[in-house]
A and B are shown apart, each in its own frame.
Chain A
Amino acid sequence: MKAAEEGRVLPETGRFNWKDGFWQPPEAPSVD
């Protein structure tokens, strides 16, 4: 809570998808 109030980076934590978002697969070639 204190770190959150002070906006500090916490050690040994991860960002999950926050930074990059989802992995994006290459577009499937269109055969339509």
Chain B
Amino acid sequence: MSTVELLAPAGNPEALDAAIGEGADAVYLGLRSFNARMRSSNFAFNQFEAAVEVCRKNQKKVYVTVNTVFEQREADRMYQLLQYLERVGPDGLIVQDLGVVKMAKDFFPSLKLHASTQMNIGSARGANFLSRQGFKRVVLSRELSLDEIRKVSETTNLETEVFVHGALCVSASGLCLFSSYLGGKSANRGLCAQACRRLYSTEAGSGYYFSPDDLQLIDRVSDLVEAGVDSFKIEGRMKSAEYVGAVVAAYRHMLDNWRIDRERALAKALSLLQADFARRKTSFNISGELDLDYLKPDQPGGTGIPLGKIRDIRSYEDGRWALMESAGAEGLGEGDSLRVHHADDSGRFTARLKGVKEGPKGTLLRFDGDYRQGDEVYLVQTKTMGKRWKPVLPKDIGRFHKFPSRDLAPKPDYPKLGKAELEVLPDGLYALVGRVADLHVLLAARPEKAMLVFDRKNAEGLRRHEKEIPFKRDSLVLWLDPYLPEADSDWLSGELDYWIGQGQRFFVANNPAHLGLLRGRTDPKGRPVFTIAGPWLYVFNRYAAAFLLEEGARCVVPPYEIGKQNFMKVAETVPSKAWMPVVFSYPPLFRIRTDLAKKYDFRYFTDRERQAYELVTGRDYSTVIPQSPFSIVDRIPFLKRRASASSSSTSPSSSYRSRSTSR
């Protein structure tokens, strides 16, 4: 038997039955608030308490997802939830928000924290920073190679959890604003609308350009075990119990048998995965050479086995029949579940198959629904998959009734910021550019300070043109790239040593690893490095602000997607000079760890509503930005007025961002 944990999703009690029934060692599940899958049915409190009790008796573990950010108005509810979880005692909490970390550390220290993949931890430095905060485990970001996973596992004392199977995000973990930008449905609030899976248009045509295949690492199980991974995670809290059962069975078999006969174990596991009716599969970046074929523009973003397009619609006495373009009725039967995807991407629906027959012109399928010619049909579940597992939860769960209290959250403590510290950044406009050459353009605009995205390419440029940088050290801020995979970790550490040694003092931290790298540093004159907490550290509440100020940040840039009311609430109690709200930007909506110019030759694309976006490609990564920028520059007087009115300090610094992602 393997000692590596097999961790399965439980989006509902039936999926829990399937996971445990097929041999998962642990499950992760969400309650009905503050979790990243608000669209799955999740667990009621008493169901959750029963699950924890039964699983504990059976030596199975239960982890709870509290992996969204919370707004200030929700602070009491978050406090009540954490208090409740401390009483129930699950085996771990999967968290994203540094405000949750702060609350847990201060008030509920017995909670065992796991860093969600949404925290974007891809390096041992990031993991070790969280280890010092009391974390037990890190869910590594999904874009890491096997070598990177091995190195992180070897050099952190945290347990490492790695996704091995299931849907992928097109964006690097935790760096996606796409769904939020399109309609306020933020992935960081558990409401991802999967905008990446929609149809987009370019000059040359249209396609599902950003809809990735699903991850499958069944053939890399032995490599991952030998790399020191502690937990294999299966994605899919939105998936059916049948899916969970099939995937758990496959990985259980592989984990338990690969040492005996790897090839035979793999063959059996792959046959079990035949019942995974999801998308086509990819091993993504595990080899370290990302296979760009994981994005297939001709493949609609939904799940299921493709049965082809509807060529025509026939009406017979017993109803409407869809004549399929291609044959393929083999194995199909009444009662199977289909998903129909409209040809123009205007919608999709599921239907039960009511009849199948082979006609002279092809296969005919009968099912209900508003389907049209050209729509794509997928098989998502067969009737024979309707396996039932022994229920985990007892029938009577009435005796489980701990429930959250109505207690109010204590106010967070802030470290006292001295006047001298607060005066370091004068009020004014701070402008961020994405290329070293653009620093010269900024000269004429005379910002308070210039900011430069500090990634590998710009770092090389800065070194090359060090003597020609048009800003003095104290007028330049290096905006650290939020994505820090293990492969870049030593490099960044060396670069920071170099630039701090050259007298560079101002940095924007955008990843928890950056906080560890910058903490306690001084320049050659003995002046402390000035750390600004960037928007990718997601300060949506005062607790997150307090966490970052305690960890050495002296100023906070709120997230791009923060709302006005929430910002004003969060800003009420922190000195206004410690804020640097973004007032203009082309926000990077999502980010891909590869140069997409190798795959796509378009630069601009539009969505169904004719909104335009730009695909910005580069040697090391690609991003997507909107064509129309975010701007509240007209609200600067309001920001100054409100922030000064709500605290005793003077007006806030305001940042002005130019095209932060342009290359």
Asked if A and B are interacting partners, one says yes
Chain A binding site: helix, strand, loop or mixed by DSSP? loop
Are A16 and B445 neighbours in the complex by a CB distance under 8 Å?
no
Are B563 and A4 neighbours in the complex by a CB distance under 8 Å?
no
Are A13 and B45 neighbours in the complex by a CB distance under 8 Å?
no
Taking the closest CB of chain A, its distance from the CB of B139, in whole angstroms, is 24
Q: Which residues of B, 201-241, contact A by the 8 Å Cβ criterion? A: none
Instruction: Please count the residue pairs between chain A and chain B whose beta carbons lie under 8 angstroms apart in the complex.
Output: 96
Give B583's nearest chain A residue, CB to CB: A4
Give B559's nearest chain A residue, CB to CB: A17
In whole angstroms, how far apart are the Cα atoms of A18 and B183 in the complex? 12
Are B656 and A10 neighbours in the complex by a CB distance under 8 Å?
no
In whole angstroms, how far apart are the Cα atoms of A28 and B43 in the complex? 11
Among A1, A4, A28, A32, the residue within 8 A (CB) of B46 is A32
Are B445 and A1 neighbours in the complex by a CB distance under 8 Å?
yes
Interface centre among A3, A14, A17, A30 (most CB of B within 10 A): A17
Taking the closest CB of chain B, its distance from the CB of A17, in whole angstroms, is 5
Are B631 and A20 neighbours in the complex by a CB distance under 8 Å?
no
Interface centre among B186, B403, B563 (most CB of A within 10 A): B563
Are A13 and B563 neighbours in the complex by a CB distance under 8 Å?
no
In whole angstroms, how far apart are the Cα atoms of A28 and B431 in the complex? 43
Are B654 and A4 neighbours in the complex by a CB distance under 8 Å?
yes
Q: Which residues of B contact A5 (CB under 8 A)?
A: 429
Are A31 and B44 neighbours in the complex by a CB distance under 8 Å?
yes
In whole angstroms, how far apart are the Cα atoms of A15 and B186 in the complex? 15
Are A21 and B429 neighbours in the complex by a CB distance under 8 Å?
no
Contacts A17-B562, A20-B563 given: A12-B184 contact, CB under 8 Å?
no
B633 in the interface, Cβ–Cβ < 8 Å? yes
Interface residues on A, range: 20 to 34
Q: Which residues of B, 561-594, contact A by the 8 Å Cβ criterion? A: 561-566, 583-584, 587
In whole angstroms, how far apart are the Cα atoms of A13 and B446 in the complex? 23
Are B633 and A16 neighbours in the complex by a CB distance under 8 Å?
no
Q: Which residues of B contact A7 (CB under 8 A)?
A: 633-637
Are A22 and B186 neighbours in the complex by a CB distance under 8 Å?
yes
Taking the closest CB of chain A, its distance from the CB of B420, in whole angstroms, is 27
Are A16 and B429 neighbours in the complex by a CB distance under 8 Å?
no
B79 in the interface, Cβ–Cβ < 8 Å? no
Taking the closest CB of chain B, its distance from the CB of A15, in whole angstroms, is 7
In whole angstroms, how far apart are the Cα atoms of A23 and B185 in the complex? 6
Contacts A14-B629, A16-B587, A17-B562 given: A23-B184 contact, CB under 8 Å?
yes
Are B628 and A1 neighbours in the complex by a CB distance under 8 Å?
no
B621 in the interface, Cβ–Cβ < 8 Å? no
In whole angstroms, how far apart are the Cα atoms of A28 and B191 in the complex? 14
Q: Which residues of B, 610-639, contact A by the 8 Å Cβ criterion? A: 626, 628-637
Are B184 and A22 neighbours in the complex by a CB distance under 8 Å?
yes
Contacts A4-B583, A23-B185, A28-B32 given: A17-B636 contact, CB under 8 Å?
no
Taking the closest CB of chain A, its distance from the CB of B634, in whole angstroms, is 4
Among A4, A16, A23, A32, the residue within 8 A (CB) of B636 is A4
Are A13 and B429 neighbours in the complex by a CB distance under 8 Å?
no
Are B191 and A13 neighbours in the complex by a CB distance under 8 Å?
no
B contact set with A: CB distance below 8 Å: 32, 38, 44-46, 71, 180-181, 183-186, 189, 191, 403, 429, 431, 445-447, 560-566, 583-584, 587, 626, 628-637, 654, 656
The 5 closest A-B CB pairs, nearest first, are A21-B563, A13-B631, A23-B184, A4-B633, A1-B445
User: Can you list 24 contacts pairing A with B, beta carbon distance less than 8 Å?
Assistant: A1-B431, A4-B429, A4-B633, A4-B636, A7-B637, A9-B633, A10-B584, A10-B629, A10-B631, A13-B628, A14-B626, A15-B631, A16-B181, A16-B560, A16-B561, A16-B587, A17-B184, A18-B564, A19-B563, A22-B71, A22-B561, A23-B185, A25-B191, A31-B44
A sample of 20 more A-B contacts (CB under 8 A), given A10-B584, A22-B189, is A1-B656, A4-B583, A7-B635, A7-B636, A7-B637, A9-B631, A9-B633, A10-B634, A13-B629, A14-B626, A14-B628, A16-B181, A17-B184, A17-B186, A19-B563, A20-B184, A21-B563, A25-B38, A28-B32, A32-B44
